Chains A and B, each alone.
Chain A
Amino acid sequence: MSLRQQQAPKDHEAVQISLRTALILMLFTAAFTTLMAFAYLATRDTIAASAKKEKLKLIGEVLPPAMYDNALLKDVIELPAIAELGLDQPSRAYRARKNGEPVALVFEAAAPDGYSGRINLILAVRPDGEIVAVRVTAHRETPGLGDYIDPHKDKNKTQPWISQFDRQGFASLPPAQWHVKKDGGHFDQRSGATISARAVTNAIGRAAAWASKQDAQLFATSAPPAARLN
């Protein structure tokens, strides 16, 4: 039993004790690092599989799986950091096709000006610029007040706030209308939490404008860079 206070050791004893405890600490570190390495190796494949499933599920929220038939996660293009999308880091866009025809581009965007910082979005946009759907993937808006931008938190389950962007495009709605009603635009906001809605609406407007300019070109970049990713 070594868990007791030692008496003040003499000099040569101090060296001995230091060496001994250092050795023991090293042994413990080695043993538990080995354990962690084994845990990592044992779970790596399962975790990768669930991450992939999670990604498909998230994409499935903005783009129903029935709408495309290609291996979406492999049909990837790498995007640089694009200021119009509010992204300061490179991101990936996924190209959905059915029978080889472009169906939609799935990509990320962000609103930098939420009430409590960044709001991350994922969008699916058709080649003609029409939005299929939008979802909020990460945000820190006030619970119960601004968090209705996330349909899981929205009290209106049948017609969540974010669903008013479904099937909107510049063909039906001119760019000047892509703001909340309070700013003279087309989209509703909930009273008391305009800032969250305004940030998301403006970010979606910018992302839709970017996509309608880029989509044709992005889809033309053929030859999906196969299994390099995922």
Chain B
Amino acid sequence: MNLRDIAWNGLWKQNAGIVQLLGMCPLLAMSNSIVNAAGLGIATIIVMALSSGTVSILRGFIPYEIRIPVFILIIAALVTGIDLAMNAWLHQLYLVLGIFIPLIVTNCIVLARVEAYAAKNPPLSATFDATMMGLGLTLVLVVLGAVRELVGSGTLFAGIEMLVPGAHAIQIMPADYPGFLVAILPPGAFFTLGCLIALRNWIDARAARRKLAQPIPSGEPSMQPV
């Protein structure tokens, strides 16, 4: 598989958030604002890239019978390391994401990519595959966060000052917008996710119909004089 296929797979065809529907726990809990969603998404990308890379490097030494415990051991050790490092050197970000970093261990998309891809492929493409899978999940998270934040509280980028000092949230709706509570609560995540899945399926179905409607591409007739 070449890099382009891997990227297309992670971002669209096998998107972790809206096709494989893996990693629902952070999806629902953390996607109530763009900043939360992006923060958790970035942390997930880092964990996925590192664990897939490590497993891929060590894959020759891991016996088939005990691969799952070893994978979990590797993922848990890496997450612990990231948790400690963020607490020490990125303390502001840690205060926002702190409680969700340990949750990444339980996010099945990490283990799924390690088992399905990294264990059978060389380090470079395994790392790239995990990064693209994580990016696909992050994009879904951010879109979910944007919709829920806009509908729920009428702002975008609330809390951005925790990540980028000096930045401010954007008030989209009028200041007296009463808010729409359901969007902020977990049911709002389900509704929005359902709409996203429907949208993706519609786009795919439309593309497939177009492909069918068009006759086999015979190549543009060449207008250039020979």
Contacts and interface: CB of A to CB of B under 8 A. Distances in A.
Given A43-B84, A47-B88, A25 B185 contact: no
A159 interface: no
Interface in B144-175: 152-153
Interface centre among A24, A32, A142 (most CB of B within 10 A): A32
A36 B87 contact: no
Given A2-B64, A145-B181, A46 B73 contact: no
Secondary structure call for the B interface: helix
B80 interface: yes
B195 interface: no
A40 B84 contact: yes
Given A28-B70, A32-B74, A21 B32 contact: no
Interface residues of A, number: 30
Interface centre among B64, B153, B179, B185 (most CB of A within 10 A): B64
A89 interface: no
Interface string A17-42: 10011001100110011011001101
Contacts of B62: 2-3, 24, 28
Secondary structure call for the A interface: helix
A143 B80 CA distance: 29
B59 interface: yes
A99 interface: no
Contact of A50 (B87, B153, B184): B87
Interface string B50-86: 0000000001111111110110011001001100110
A20 to B, nearest CB: 7
Contacts of A145: 181
B66 A43 contact: no
What 5 pairs across the A-B complex have the smallest Cβ distances?
A46-B88, A43-B88, A32-B77, A50-B91, A39-B81
Contact of B32 (A6, A33, A43, A143): A143
Nearest to A1: B60
A61 interface: no
Given A43-B87, A144-B152, 14 more contacts: A2-B61, A2-B62, A4-B64, A21-B65, A25-B66, A32-B73, A32-B74, A36-B77, A39-B84, A43-B89, A47-B87, A142-B181, A144-B181, A145-B181
B84 A24 contact: no
Nearest to A33: B77
A24 B58 CA distance: 12
A46 B60 CA distance: 37
B132 interface: no
B64 A144 contact: no
Interface in B84-126: 84-85, 87-89, 91, 95, 119-120
A165 to B, nearest CB: 25
B59 to A, nearest CB: 6
Contacts of A230: none
A221 interface: no
B63 A144 contact: no
B67 A3 contact: yes
A1 to B, nearest CB: 6
Contacts of A42: 84, 88
A101 interface: no
